[in-house]
Structure 1
Amino acid sequence: MPTITSADGARLEVTSTGSGPGLVVVPGGLRRSHRCRRLAESLGDSRTVHVIERHGPGDSGPPPAGSSIEREVEDALAVLDATGSAELFGHGYGGLAALHVALRRDLRRLVIHEPAAGLDGAPDPASRPGLERGGPHGRTATAMATFLTGLGFAPVGVVPMPALTAFAWFLLRTPDGRQTRQLQPTAAPEVRAAVGPDPDGHRYAAVTSPTLIIAGGRDPEWQHRMQPRLAALIPHARYALVPEPDHHAPGGSAPAAVADLVRAFLTTDDATAR
Structure 2
Amino acid sequence: MRTAELTQGVVTSRDGTEIAYYKTGQGPAVVVLHGSMESARSHTLLAEALADEFTVYLPDRCGRGRSGPQRPDHGVHAELEDLEAVLTVAGADRAFGVSAGGAVVLEAARVLPGLEQVALYEPAIVAEGEPHREWLARFDQEIARGDVAGAMVTSMFGFEMAPAFLKVMPRGLLRRMTERMMAKEARQAGADAITMRQLAPTIHGEGIIVAELAGTFDNFRTVDAEVLLLGGTKGLRGLEPGRATLEKVLPHCRRIEFDGFDHGSSSDPGGVNPTGKPEAVRRIAAEVKSFFKKQS
TM-score > 0.5, shorter chain as reference: yes
Q: Percent identity?
A: 27
TM-score with structure 2 length normalisation?
A: 0.81
- Displacement of 1:96 in angstroms is 1.2
Q: Residue 62 of structure 2 contacts residue 70 of structure 2 at CA under 8 Å; is this kept in 1?
A: yes
- Displacement of 1:224 in angstroms is 1.9
**135, 147, 161: which is aligned to 1:153?**
161
2:281 corresponds to 1:265: no
**C-alpha distance in 1 between matches for 2:127 and 2:56:** 30
Partner of 1:205: 221
Opposite residue 164 of structure 1, the aligned amino acid is L
**237, 240, 244: which is aligned to 2:253?**
237
- Displacement of 1:89 in angstroms is 0.8
Gap change, CA 1:61 and 1:241, over 3 Å in 2: same
**148, 168, 174: which is aligned to 2:178?**
168
2:135 corresponds to 1:130: yes
**C-alpha distance in 2 between matches for 1:109 and 1:135:** 36
Q: Residue 120 of structure 1 contacts residue 226 of structure 1 at CA under 8 Å; is this kept in 2?
A: no
- Displacement of 1:208 in angstroms is 1.0
**C-alpha distance in 1 between matches for 2:136 and 2:233:** 23
2:88 corresponds to 1:96: no
> Could you list the per-position Cα deviations for residues 40-83 of structure 1 after superposition, in whole angstroms to 9, with x for gaps in the alignment?
11111221100001112432122223211111111111111111
**C-alpha distance in 2 between matches for 1:31 and 1:135:** 19
**C-alpha distance in 2 between matches for 1:230 and 1:132:** 30
1:111-130 → structure 2 map (5 Å cutoff): 111-119=119-127, 125-126=130-131, 128-130=133-135
TM-score with structure 1 length normalisation?
A: 0.88
- Displacement of 1:157 in angstroms is 3.7
Opposite residue 146 of structure 1, the aligned amino acid is T
Gap change, CA 1:132 and 1:186, over 3 Å in 2: farther
**C-alpha distance in 2 between matches for 1:132 and 1:251:** 29
2:272 corresponds to 1:256: no
Which residues of structure 2 form unaligned runs of 5+?
1-7, 269-275
Q: Residue 111 of structure 1 contacts residue 213 of structure 1 at CA under 8 Å; is this kept in 2?
A: yes
**C-alpha distance in 2 between matches for 1:156 and 1:134:** 21
Partner of 2:69: 62
**C-alpha distance in 2 between matches for 1:197 and 1:129:** 16
Q: Residue 125 of structure 2 contacts residue 213 of structure 2 at CA under 8 Å; is this kept in 1?
A: no
1:189-228 → structure 2 map (5 Å cutoff): 189-196=205-212, 199-228=215-244
111-120 vs 44-53, greater mean Cα deviation: 111-120
**7, 19, 27: which is aligned to 1:20?**
27
Cα RMSD (Å): 2.4
- Displacement of 1:186 in angstroms is 2.6
1:46-57 → structure 2 map (5 Å cutoff): 46-57=53-64
**C-alpha distance in 2 between matches for 1:197 and 1:15:** 28
Opposite residue 163 of structure 2, the aligned amino acid is P
**C-alpha distance in 2 between matches for 1:142 and 1:58:** 23
Which residues of structure 1 form unaligned runs of 5+?
none
Query: How many residues end up aligned between the 2 structures?
Result: 267
- Displacement of 1:8 in angstroms is 1.6
